Homo-oligomer: A and B are copies of this chain.
């Protein structure tokens, strides 16, 4: 079976929206997405890319259309609880290290759900360690253990390695997907991801 990867950073609203749609794609295709924590700021730095908000900040028509696109995506997928985080952009270094620590602790999937939810559905200021600790404790994690684990040199190195590997494979932003060696970018290419997984004839017929 072809590997399917989702390179994510909690700081990206479009990564969150992809995260919300992935379960349905998994159900339809039988594929299982492997979530790969990366540091989006590191990818931007390595590729000279910037967030859409920065890149298009002086093009109001483009920003307005991105909001239209987001609205269409929410409607298409019946997502009713998305909220922009008022603290955006949130520094996610600690959260992404925490994701790697959670992988090793066996609580990765729950961690990803909880952090994404508290970033983009009930948004909190998740670059404040006290807030992160509170969120983890409210959701039955061993916060002390995870937060300490996230500071381990091998965890820091693993996040850097994931990020470097993403850049080496051509990634430049978020969300990024790989189906085998084929890269896809942006929440709107999840349709193409699904087609690539199914591997069938790529047609243009809707519904």
Report which A residues bind B (CB closer than 8 A): 21, 24-25, 28, 47-49, 55, 58-62, 64-65, 68, 72, 75-77, 167, 170-173, 183, 185, 188-192, 194-195, 198, 200-207
Contacts and interface: CB of A to CB of B under 8 A. Distances in A.
Contacts of A195: 206-207
8 contacts: A28-B205, A47-B59, A48-B58, A61-B167, A76-B202, A190-B204, A194-B206, A203-B206
A76 B167 CA distance: 27
Copies of this chain, complex-wide, total: 2
Given A28-B205, A183-B68, A200-B207, A61 B47 contact: yes
B170 A191 contact: no
Nearest to A171: B61
Nearest to A43: B61
A117 B201 CA distance: 28
Contacts of A65: 170, 172, 183, 185
B58 A55 contact: no
Contact of A61 (B68, B172, B203, B207): B172
Contact of A191 (B28, B59, B191): B191
A204 B55 contact: no
A172 B62 CA distance: 6
A201 B85 CA distance: 30
A194 B171 CA distance: 30
Contact of A204 (B24, B48, B72): B24
Contacts of A61: 47, 49, 167, 170-172
